[in-house]
């Protein structure tokens, strides 16, 4: 069975803040936001918005690569535009 987002978050919630940080840094290696038309040219440096939450810089949605990102399936994410709409937790109404 594929991971559900709720289950992934339950597992994440058992990690210490330090372990959670390390986990997000691992996801950074897989995040494809830097190749996204919404991201390119904005000057944004942050990535992995699905875990970190909205960008303070990105405002204009020009397409989203999240549905093809390996992090999406790894965490059971099912949303898009995390940079403008908020993290998976936020879009799931869990936060």
69 binds ligand SF4 (CB under 6 A): yes
Q: Please enumerate in sequence order all residues whose Cβ is within 8 A of that of 9, keeping only pairs 6 or more positions apart, or say none.
A: 88, 89, 92, 94
Residue 12 vs residues 20, 23, 61, 67: alpha-carbon distances, Å: 7, 9, 29, 21
The footprint of ligand SF4 on this chain (CB under 6 A) covers a number of residues equal to: 21
Site residues for ligand SF4, 23-52, by CB under 6 A, read: 27, 31-33, 36, 38-39, 47-50
- Minimal distance in Å, beta carbon 12 to ligand SF4? 14
91 binds ligand SF4 (CB under 6 A): no
Using CB under 6 A, pick the residue from 7, 45, 46, 66 that binds ligand SF4. Answer: 66
| 10's tokens | 């339950």
């Amino acid at each position: 069975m594929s991971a559900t987002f709720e289950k992934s978050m339950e597992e994440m919630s058992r990690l210490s803040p330090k372990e959670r940080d390390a986990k997000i840094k691992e996801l950074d290696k897989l995040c494809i936001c830097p190749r996204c038309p919404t991201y390119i040219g904005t000057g944004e440096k942050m990535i992995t918005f699905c875990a970190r939450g909205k960008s303070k810089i990105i405002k204009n949605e020009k397409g989203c690569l999240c549905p093809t990102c390996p992090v999406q399936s790894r965490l059971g994410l099912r949303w898009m535009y995390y940079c403008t709409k908020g993290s998976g937790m936020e879009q799931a109404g869990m936060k």
